[in-house]
């Protein structure tokens, strides 16, 4: 059995690919690559096919995390394909939920910051129009959230 995670932001070039790659890094460190699978998507179609933003890639690689992947748009099929869908902010959470008008998948959709154990922010801020500090802040926030998320997923896997 594998547990599938999908990280979602607006354009899928900063926050969600950073979360996906940080999580994959943690999964490899914990020898869980057979059990936990990650993906990422954007609620918009702005950057389909684009690689991660060079600024988020630099912030990640400075912490030993390689940034891989290319942007794609979130689709209704993702509700069935993934066990947990993690929105970076409330706006993306609302956009995801709007594709599920009956609420059938609502329990699968969570805010990424719900899993933070150290940081107190409730949303992952979009660093796209800001400076280097914003990208570094996002990586640090996502590292915290991914550690908490890994603990959660491990408990889900044990519960089977």
Q: How far apart, in whole angstroms, are the C-alpha atoms of residue 4 and residue 40?
A: 11
Listed in sequence order, the residues at least 6 apart from 125 whose beta carbon sits closer than 8 Å to its beta carbon are: 89, 134, 137, 138
DSSP for residue 47? T
Pair of tokens at residue 32: 């869980």
The residues annotated with a catalytic role in the active site are 9, 15, 126
Q: Alpha helix (H) ranges present in the chain?
A: 15-29, 54-61, 77-81, 90-98, 132-159
Query: What is the DSSP-derived secondary structure letter of residue 50?
Result: P
């Amino acid at each position: 059995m594998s547990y599938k995670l999908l990280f979602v932001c607006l354009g899928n070039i900063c926050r969600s690919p950073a979360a996906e790659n940080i999580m994959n890094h943690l999964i490899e460190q914990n020898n869980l690559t057979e059990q936990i699978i990650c993906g990422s998507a954007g609620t918009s179609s702005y950057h389909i096919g684009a690689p991660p933003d060079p600024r988020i890639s630099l912030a990640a690689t400075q912490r030993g995390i390689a940034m891989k992947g290319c942007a794609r748009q979130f689709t209704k099929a993702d509700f069935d394909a993934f066990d947990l869908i993690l929105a970076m902010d409330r706006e993306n959470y609302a956009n995801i939920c709007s594709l599920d008008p009956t609420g059938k998948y609502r329990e699968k959709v969570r805010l990424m910051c719900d899993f933070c154990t150290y940081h107190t922010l409730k949303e992952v801020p979009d660093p796209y129009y800001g400076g280097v500090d914003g990208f570094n802040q996002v990586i640090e926030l996502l590292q915290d959230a991914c550690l908490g998320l890994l603990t959660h997923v491990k408990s889900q896997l044990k519960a089977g």
